[in-house]
Amino acid sequence: MATNTIRGTVAGLGRRANPAFAVGVVAVSVAAFGYAVTAASIQQHTYIHVMAGLLWTGTDIFIGGILGPVIGGLDEEQSAAVFERLTPKTSFFLPSMAFLTIAAGLTLAIRIGLFPHAEPWLALFTAANLIPVMLLVGWRLNAWRDRRWQAITAVVTVGSLAWVATTVGQFQMTSPAIVVTLAIVTILSVQGFDFLMPGEVRMYMEMVSDDPDPSVISAIGQQNAKLGGVQGLFQLVLIAVMVSLRYGGF
C-alpha cells in the first residue's frame, strides 16, 4: 500500500523508528494497561499511571523547552537530520504514553471512587474524542478510499454514539476536577491529532519524497517541538488538577 495511506504511513514510520521499538512501545503500553485494570493492586495501578504520565509530560517538556531551542540554533540540514531520526520514534512513543496515562488514570479514578457517575461521562468523552479523530486522520492521510478505514470509522462512530444513547439517561454531575480533566485531555487530543500528527506525517512524506527539502522538514519539526512544549504546559496543569482531586483540594 502506498505511503500516503494509513497503513503505508504507519509501516514506513515504524521501519524508520526501528520495528522492534515501534512494536515494543505499543505492546508494552497495552500490556501495562491490561495489567493495571485486571491484576494490579491500587498501588501498582497508581505507579503505572504516574510513570506513564511522567514519561509523556517529561518528553513533551524536554522537546519543547530544551531540544527545540537547541535544534533552532542549527542550520536547516542539521535540524532536518535530527527530526528525521526523532520524529519516527516520537510518533509511536508519545501516543502510547498518552494512551496509557489517560486510560490508566480514568480507570484508577473510578477504582478509588473519585469519578462518580462515570459511565455517561466516559461515553460523551469517548465520542467527543474518537469521532473527530477518525474523521481527521482519514482526511489527513487520504484514507477515505480504503474500505477498511471506512468500516473502522463507521464502527467507531456508531459504537460511540450508541454508548452515549444508552447512558444519557443516567447522566449526573460528576466531580468538577474530573470535568476539568476531561476538558484538558480533549484539548490535548485536538492538538495531537489536528496539528502534531499531521505535521509528523508531512515530515515523513517529505523524507520519502524523490527530492526531500530539509527546510520543510526543519520548519515543521520546529513547529511541532513548540507545540510539544504547549502540550507539556497543559499536562502540568492536568497534574495540578489530579493532585488537587486526589487530596481533596478541588
Domain boundaries, the chain: 6-116+174-246
Q: Is 119 exposed, middle or buried (0-12, 13-18, 19+ CB in 10 A)?
A: middle
Diameter of the chain measured on Cα atoms: 58
pLDDT of residue 198: 77
Q: Supply angle C-alpha 86, 133, 208, rounded to 5.
A: 35
**What integer pLDDT is reported at residue 1 of this predicted model?**
41
| Integer CA distances (angstroms), 81 to 57, 71, 172, 191, 228, in order | 24, 10, 52, 25, 19
Eight-state DSSP code of residue 170: G
Q: How many Å apart are CA 204 and CA 198, to the nearest integer?
A: 10
| Start-end of H helices in the chain | 6-17, 19-36, 42-62, 68-72, 76-111, 118-140, 147-167, 176-191, 197-207, 214-246
The confidence score (pLDDT) of residue 250 equals 56
For residue 237, the one-letter residue type is V
Give the span between the Cα atoms of 38 and 15, in whole angstroms.
32
Each residue's pLDDT, cut to its tens digit, for the chain (250 residues) gives 445 555 667 777 888 888 899 999 999 999 999 999 999 999 999 999 999 999 999 998 998 888 888 888 888 889 888 988 888 899 899 999 999 999 999 999 999 988 999 999 999 999 998 888 888 777 766 777 778 888 999 999 999 999 999 999 999 999 888 999 999 998 888 788 777 887 888 888 888 888 888 888 888 888 888 888 888 899 999 888 888 877 765 5
DSSP one-letter string for 12-71: HHHHHH-HHHHHHHHHHHHHHHHHHTTT--HHHHHHHHHHHHHHHHHHHHHIIIIIHHHH
Residue 242: exposure state from Cβ atoms within 10 A (0-12, 13-18, ≥19) = buried
C-alpha cell at 158: 456508531
Give which of 16, 1, 3 is closest to 148, Cα–Cα: 1
State the residue for C-alpha cell 516520537. 90
Cell of 249: 483540594
Half-sphere exposure of 4 (CA within 13 A, CB side): 9
